[in-house]
Every structure is written in C-alpha cells, then in structure tokens.
Structure 1
Amino acid sequence: MVKSCRRNIRGYVRKYNMFAWHLKGMPVDEALIQMRFARSRRSYEFFSLLRNAQANAVHQYGMNPDTLIIDNLRVLRAHQPKVLRIRGKGGSMVMRLRHSHLICRVKENAKLTNKAWRGIGPKSDTKVMANDTPVPHIVVN
C-alpha cells in the first residue's frame, strides 16, 4: 500500500467528504477522470492527491498503474485560525478559517483492469441454458 497526503488545505471537512465517499474503492484511473471533469475547486485537490499517489506507487514501488485502486481515503480536520472582521458602527465578527487534511492509501488489485470496472471489458461468448450446455451467443445487428 502506498500513502499520499495533502496537508492544511483550505476547506471544510464536510464538503471534502462528499468527494471522498464517491471515490472510495474506485480505480485510480477512473477517479482521475471523474475529478478532471468535476466542476469544483475541491476536485483539483483530490486530482493532485490521486496523481501523486499513483506516481509514488509506480516510481517508488514499481506497481502497475492500471491495477491501482483507492483503498482508503480519509479527510481529517486541521487547524482553524480565527480572523477578526471589523464591521461598521464599532461591531466585529470572529470567523473561523477551516482547513483539512487529505490522506489517501492506494493498493494494487491484480484481478482488476480499468475496462472491466467500467463494464466494457471482455465478455464470454456463450450463454448457459437450463440444462447447463453452453450455446453460442447470437448477436443481431
């Protein structure tokens, strides 16, 4: 297993968890595609985290990049500095700037290929009937 981290990222844990729940268990290549086309600034953080984890797995440990899956993806709370906003008529407001940590673990799954995960991989060319005798599959155009 290969671990990759992004520390002290601006953003709330609750918002990052929406992406983390979506990506857990997904192949790294598919997750990179999903985050590449997501319209959010948070998706860039996950994209760079996953790309870094994939590069570490390939270059440092010699793993196959096609069989990498996301084993664990955690979002942790980081420091929250307080900022004083001065308002009109002598008023003030205290704001908390929320930060998060992203931690990703990637592992290699030997029986997984990217095409098989999407459902477009190789399929068997026979159907099994009720009496368990294989019959050639007929494709009608």
Structure 2
Amino acid sequence: MQYKFHLNNLAVAPRKVRAVADLVKKMPVKDAENQLKFLDKRAALPVLKLLKSAAASAVHNFNLSADNLFISNIFVDGGPMLKRFRPRAFGRAAAIQKKTSHLTLILEEKTPTARKMKTKTKTKVAVKEIQGGGEKPAAPKYETPKEIKPARKLGGFTRRIFRRKAIG
C-alpha cells in the first residue's frame, strides 16, 4: 500500500529540488537518509526532514517497520511564485520571480504486511452532580419584544427652524 506525504511552499526552485529528489527515488528509507545527510545541496535538508517525518508517521500511525519502507516515488511541483522587482537603469524595474516548490513523497513497503490501525480507546469521565439549593426557575425560550415607543414629534418652533426644504 502507498502512503503519501506532502511538503508545500518550500522556498527553493523546483528545478533545484528535482535534482535532489531524483537521487533518492526508489531507494530504501535508510539508504536515502544517508544519501541526503552527506549531499551538499541546499534542497537536501528539507527533503531529508520530509523523509524522516514521513517514516516516523508511517511507523507511528500505520504500525509499519521503518526497515521495510522504500521511496516508491517522489515528485516536485511548482508552488506559487513571489513577484519581486529589482531597480534597473533609466528608472525601470526588472521583475524577479522567487519560485517555491511542492513536494510529494510516496512510501511503500518492500514486503506487504497485514496492516493494523491503532484504535483510540475512549475513557469515560465521571460527571459529578452539584448539590445546590434547588433548581433554577425555567426561563422562557424566547424573550418577548419590548414595547416600541412612537417617534417623538418635533415641536412647533423646532419644526419651523429645521425644515426639509428651504423657503424660497
């Protein structure tokens, strides 16, 4: 069975990450870790962290053995590009695209084993009853609307001073 793991928005260009990812494709997890530890490329560390995290998740969540896992596939897609500008001559600006990457790592077992999922057991929490002075009076579900007062009419003097239309 295949197990997918993702790393999104890595701030390294996809072309540079692909060079690292292609080295470890189809390798066992332990060999790939050793390969990435000693690889002198900037993209090697994030790929190594993804690989370690994926192996730990597979062991913890799916009860798999780390020695039985290998990298079935790893592929790198382009992420969103950040647009930046660099000043140039004569008041112009040149656009710069800071590229990002999305990694998808697919782990698989060398020899398939019967998979047992861990089940969470729910513990029942004892509820204590509070002994008080009695029950609260039942409040109505909906409040009755308050009386609406009619709008106050302006007096004679105020009506003469503040009119809607100018007297012409």
Output the TM-score relative to the length of structure 2.
Answer: 0.62
Task: Tell me by how many angstroms 1:89 deviates.
Answer: 4.1
Counterpart of 1:30 in structure 2 is 31
Displacement of 1:87 in angstroms is: 3.4
Superimposed CA distance per residue, residues 19-62 of structure 1 (whole angstroms, 9 cap, x where no aligned partner): 12211110011101111111111000110010011011100000
CA distance in 2, matches of 1:58, 1:65: 6
Quick check: 1:26–1:69 contact (8 Å CA) kept in 2?
A: yes
Name the aligned partner's letter for residue 24 of structure 2: L
Question: How far does residue 88 in structure 1 lie from its aligned partner after superposition?
Answer: 4.9
Give yes or no for the alignment of 1:6 onto 2:7.
yes
Q: SS at 1:38's partner residue?
A: coil
In structure 1, how many angstroms separate the alpha carbons of the residues matched to 2:43 and 2:22?
14
Q: TM-score, normalised by structure 1?
A: 0.74
1:1-80 correspondence to structure 2 within 5 Å? 1-80=2-81
Considering only aligned residues, what root-mean-square deviation do their CA atoms show, in Å? 1.4
Residues paired across the two proteins, number: 111
After TM superposition, where is structure 1 displaced by more than 6 Å over at least 4 residues in a row? none
Letter in 2 for 1:34: Q
Instruction: Give the equivalent residue in structure 1 for 2:104.
Output: 103
More strand by share: 1
1:7 match: secondary structure: strand
SS at match of 2:43: helix
Whether the aligned pair in 2 keeps the contact of 1:78 and 1:100 (CA below 8 Å) is yes
Structure whose CA Rg is larger: 2
- Give the Cα–Cα distance (whole angstroms) in 2 for the partners of residues 49 and 21 of structure 1: 15
Whole-angstrom CA distance in 2 between matches of 1:40 and 1:22:
12
Identity percentage of aligned residues: 30
1:84 paired residue number: 85
One-letter amino acid matched to 1:98? K
Aligned partners of 2:63, 2:89: CA distance in 1, in Å?
60
For 1:33, the aligned partner's letter is N
Aligned to 1:137: none
Give SS of 2:16's match: helix
Structure 1 gaps, min length 5:
112-141
Moved more, 48-57 or 78-87: 78-87
Contact 1:2 / 1:56 at 8 angstroms: preserved in 2? no
Which of 83-92 and 14-23 deviates more?
83-92
State the alpha-carbon separation in 1 of the partners of residues 27 and 56 from structure 2: 17
Structure 2 gap segments, 5+ residues each? 113-168
Q: Residue 39 of structure 1 aligns to a residue in which SS?
A: coil
